[in-house]
Amino acid sequence: MHTIRVILADDEPVIIRGLKKLLAWEQLGLTIVGEASDGYELKQQIELCNPDLIISDISMPGFTGIDIIREIHDSGKPIKVIFISAYQEFAYARQAIQYGAMDYLVKPVNKNQLEQVVSRAVSLIRQETEGERNKKMLKSYEQKNLRLTIEELLDRLTDGNKGTAETLLELGITAISRYVSICVLETDEYTGQPSRWEERERKLVEFALSNIIKETVDQIDNSYMFRKGERFCILLQHEHSGEPERLAEDLHGKINNFLKLPVSIGVGNNVEGMDNADESYRSALKALNRKYFVGLNHVISSLVEQFEGEAQTLTSLNELQSALRTALKCQDKEQIVECTNQLLQTIRWLAVDSKNQAVSSVYNTIVQLEQELADFGVEANLAGQDSSPMLEKLTNYATYTEVEQAFTVILDKMSEQIGRRMVNKEMVQLSQVKIFIEEHYAENITLESIAGMMFMNPYYFSSFFKKHTGQNFKNYVTEVRMNRALQLLLQSDMMVYEIAESVGYNNARHFSDMFKKKYGKLPQEYKQSFKNQQQP
C-alpha cells in the first residue's frame, strides 16, 4: 500500500515535537518526511519531499500558510493541507478553506480532533490516488489496444486487404501525404541453420530491436511500426521520395552501433495512397530477398538494379561450362580464373533473385565437371567429402558470395588432382611430340596436325605445349629448323636454297630472313664470318 508522505511546519519547535508524539503516524499509514520552521523552509521541503499531506501553522515568518496553499492551488498539485491556527487567526483559516484546505484546528491541538482530520485526509488521498492510477491504467490500456488494432490493420493492409484502408482513415491514421512506403527489417540470423540464440536470448534481442525501431519511428510524423511474423515493418507517409532510404540508413546505423546486430532492411517503392501499401510491401520483400546476392547487413532499395551486367550480352552458360572444363584440362590458371568469374556472374544474372536457381546452377556445374574430368582421376563427389551432401552445403550458405567461394575451393581441388595425375602422362606425350618434330622438321608441320596426332584439340595442345616448354609451338619448330640449318651451313657445301628446302622452307628468301632474325646475319655472311674466325 502507498505510504502517505507528511510535512509538519510551525515556527515553534515545541509544537512540531508535540504533533509528532500526538499520533501513531506509522500505524495510520503516514510517514513524516520533512519539517519546516518558516514559510521559506516549507516551500523548499515541498519541492524536495513531494508530500501528500501538509500540517502547518497558518501564520509563519517568510510566507504565511495562505501564501503556501494559494501556490499549491495554482500549481494544481494534489497536496492536502491541514492548518493549525490560534483563535484570533480564525479569519485566515476561513480563507484557507476557500483555497482547498482540508480543515483547521485551533491551538492547542486535541489528539482526537487531529486523528479524525488526518484519517479523513488519508481516506481522501487514497481515493484520489487510486482513481488517478485507474485513469492511467485505462488510458494505457486504450492506447495499447489502439496500437494493437493499428498493427493488425496494417498487417491485413499489406496482405492486400484494401478495405482496411478505410478503417485506418476513420481511426485518423491516414495522413494527407504524397507517398506511402513500407520498409521491412529482419535480423541476419540465417534461417537455414540452427539458431545461435536460446529462446530467452532471442526474446531479449527482439525486445531491444523493437524498442530501437519504435523510438526511431515515433520521431517521424505519420509513421508506424508493426510485425509480420519474425519481421519488423514500418509504414511511412511522406512528401519526399528519399525519406524511406534515409530512415532505413539511420535505423540500420543505430542497430549496428547499439546492439552490434547485423540486420537487413528492404525499402519498398513509393506508392500513392494507403490502399496501395501492399504493392510497396511486396517490393520491399523483393528487395530484402536480394540480400542473398547483395550481401548481409545492408539497406537494400527496391530501386537498385540487381546486377550491373544485365544490359550486357553474356556468354551462354553451356559455353562457359565447356570453356572451364577445357581450361581445367589444360591447367591454364589464368583461363580457369577468367572462366570461373564469367560463369558465376552469368549464373547470378540468370537466377533473377532466385537463390534456388543460383544454387541449382552451381551444383549442376560441379556435377558436370566431376563427370567430365573423371578420366583425369578427379575424385567423385569431391565437394561432399564430409558428412553433409554437396547440395545441402550449398543451400545452407547465407549468401551467393559464400557459394562462389565454395565453388572456387572445389575447382582448386579439381585442378590440383588433375595436375598430379597428368604430369607423368604429359611428359611422355611431350617427349613423343619433340621426337616427332626432330624427325619430321623438314615436313609441313602444323599445330593442328600434331594436335590431331596426339588426340588433342588445337587449343588444348597449344596450352599443353607452352606449359611444358615455355614456348609456343611455332617458335619451337622454327628453333629446331634453325639449329639444323646452322649445322648444314657450317658442316656441308650445300647451297642456301638447298638448306632451306632440307629444313622445311620452300622459299629461300623467307628462310634467309628467319635465319638472320635468329643469328643476326644472313646465311652466307654467317658462314664467311665463321671461316674467318677459323683461319690462323
Residue 171's pLDDT is 82
| Residue where a domain terminates, one of 131, 151, 171 | 131
C-alpha cell at 379: 575424385
Residue 316's pLDDT is 82
> Could you tell me how many helices (H) and strands (E) the chain has, helices first?
21, 10
Residue 153 belongs to a domain: no
Q: State the CATH number of the domain containing residue 443.
A: 1.10.10.60
Q: Is the dihedral of CA 242, 244, 250, 252 positive or negative?
A: negative
Residue 306's pLDDT is 43
Strand 179-187 to 103-106 pairing: unpaired
DSSP for residue 353: T
Residue 91's pLDDT is 65
Q: What is the pTM of this model?
A: 0.52
Q: Are residues 235 and 220 in the same domain?
A: yes
- List, for the chain, all residue ranges whose pLDDT scores fall below the cut of 70: 1, 87-94, 131-146, 190-198, 303-315, 375-388, 421-425, 534-536
Strand 103-106 to 80-85 pairing: parallel
Residue 140 belongs to a domain: no
| Residue where a domain terminates, one of 419, 436, 469 | 419
Residue 144 belongs to a domain: no
Residue 490 has phi, psi (to 5 degrees) of: -90, -20
Count of CB atoms situated within 10 Å of the CB of 13: 10
Strand partners, 106: 85
Q: Check: CB of residue 259 under 8 Å from CB of residue 189.
A: no
> How far is the C-alpha of 264 from the C-alpha of 528, rounded, in Å?
82
Q: Are residues 461 and 327 in the same domain?
A: no
> How far is the C-alpha of 169 from the C-alpha of 153, rounded, in Å?
11
Q: Indicate the burial class of 69 (C-beta count within 10 angstroms; 0-12, 13-18, 19 or more).
A: buried
Q: Check: CB of residue 46 under 8 Å from CB of residue 9.
A: no
Quote the number of domains for the chain: 4
The DSSP annotation for 34-72 comes to: EEESSHHHHHHHHHHH--SEEEEESS-SSS-HHHHHHHH
Q: Are residues 118 and 166 in the same domain?
A: no
Q: Are residues 350 and 382 in the same domain?
A: yes
Q: State the CATH number of the domain containing residue 32.
A: 3.40.50.2300
Residue 125's pLDDT is 86
Strand 299-301 to 263-267 pairing: parallel
C-alpha cell at 81: 493541507
Residue 441 has phi, psi (to 5 degrees) of: -65, -25
Residue 145 belongs to a domain: no
At 244-278, the pLDDT tens digits run 999 999 999 999 999 999 999 999 999 999 999 99
Q: Are residues 286 and 357 in the same domain?
A: no
The DSSP annotation for 279-336 comes to: HHHHHHHHHHHTHHHH-SS-EEETTS-S-GGGGS-PPPHHHHHHHHHHHHHHT-HHHH
Residue 146 belongs to a domain: no
Residue 386's pLDDT is 53
> How far is the C-alpha of 394 from the C-alpha of 134, rounded, in Å?
58
Q: Is the dihedral of CA 279, 285, 286, 287 positive or negative?
A: positive
Helix (H, G, I), strand (E, B), or coil: what is residue 275?
helix
Q: Are residues 192 and 299 in the same domain?
A: yes
Q: Check: CB of residue 55 under 8 Å from CB of residue 9.
A: yes
> How far is the C-alpha of 59 from the C-alpha of 271, rounded, in Å?
70
Q: Are residues 10 and 118 in the same domain?
A: yes
What type of residue is 248? A
Residue 385 belongs to a domain: yes
Strand partners, 236: 181, 223
Domain enclosing residue 508, as ranges:
425-534
Q: Are residues 457 and 490 in the same domain?
A: yes
> How far is the C-alpha of 9 from the C-alpha of 15, rounded, in Å?
9
Q: Are residues 378 and 436 in the same domain?
A: no
Q: Are residues 163 and 297 in the same domain?
A: yes
Q: State the CATH number of the domain containing residue 184.
A: 3.30.70.270
Q: Are residues 254 and 278 in the same domain?
A: yes
Residue 222 belongs to a domain: yes
DSSP for residue 377: T
Q: Are residues 260 and 315 in the same domain?
A: no
> How far is the C-alpha of 322 from the C-alpha of 357, rounded, in Å?
20
DSSP for residue 87: G
Of the candidates 101, 131, 133, 130, the residue with the CA atom closest to the CA atom of residue 117: 101
> How far is the C-alpha of 220 from the C-alpha of 218, rounded, in Å?
5
Residue 201 belongs to a domain: yes
Of the candidates 115, 10, 120, the residue with the CA atom closest to the CA atom of residue 55: 10
| Residue where a domain terminates, one of 304, 338, 364 | 304
> How far is the C-alpha of 88 from the C-alpha of 529, rounded, in Å?
149
